[in-house]
């Protein structure tokens, strides 16, 4: 008998069952709540890392941008830059999704 396939009779009458098939059947289904819980845990861990980063980078730096200048903590300057980049990425992504939806709608009609 091969290690790849176990020859057992399951409830559906299928005589060849993969080794992990029984374990897969006993697994709890993925739900929106479980996905949200995983997302919240990831966000909490990311927040902890961000707080540690900000506490370790409190030195003030000079920032010049589009004629504006000032000084602020390094961590805050980097956080503002990251948020700006994320917003720009979301705007471009939303524009592309809108473009694809319009093209799909035109093809249907």
Query: Residues 93, 66: one domain?
Result: yes
State residue 102's pLDDT score. 92
Predicted TM-score (pTM) of the model is 0.52
Nearest-Å Rg of the Cα atoms of the chain is 26
State residue 55's pLDDT score. 87
For 9-57, the pLDDT digits (tens) are 555 555 555 666 555 667 777 788 888 988 999 999 998 998 898 888 8
Query: Residues 52, 64: one domain?
Result: no
Count CB neighbours of 66 within 10 A. 5
Query: Residues 66, 107: one domain?
Result: yes
Which residues, listed in sequence order, are joined to residue 69 by a DSSP beta bridge?
A: 64
pLDDT confidence tier of residue 94, bands split at 50, 70 and 90: very high
State residue 75's pLDDT score. 86
State residue 101's pLDDT score. 93
CB-hemisphere CA count at 13 Å for 28? 6
Query: Residues 101, 67: one domain?
Result: yes
């Amino acid at each position: 008998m091969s290690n790849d396939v176990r020859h057992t009779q399951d409830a559906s009458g299928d005589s060849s069952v993969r080794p992990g098939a029984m374990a897969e059947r006993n697994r709890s289904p993925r739900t929106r709540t479980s996905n949200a819980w995983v997302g919240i845990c990831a966000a909490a861990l990311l927040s902890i890392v961000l707080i540690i980063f900000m506490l370790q980078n409190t030195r003030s730096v000079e920032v010049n941008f589009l004629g504006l200048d000032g000084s602020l903590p390094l961590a805050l300057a980097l956080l503002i830059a990251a948020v700006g980049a994320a917003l720009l990425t979301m705007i471009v992504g939303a524009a592309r999704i809108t473009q694809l939806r319009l093209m799909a709608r035109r093809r249907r009609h």
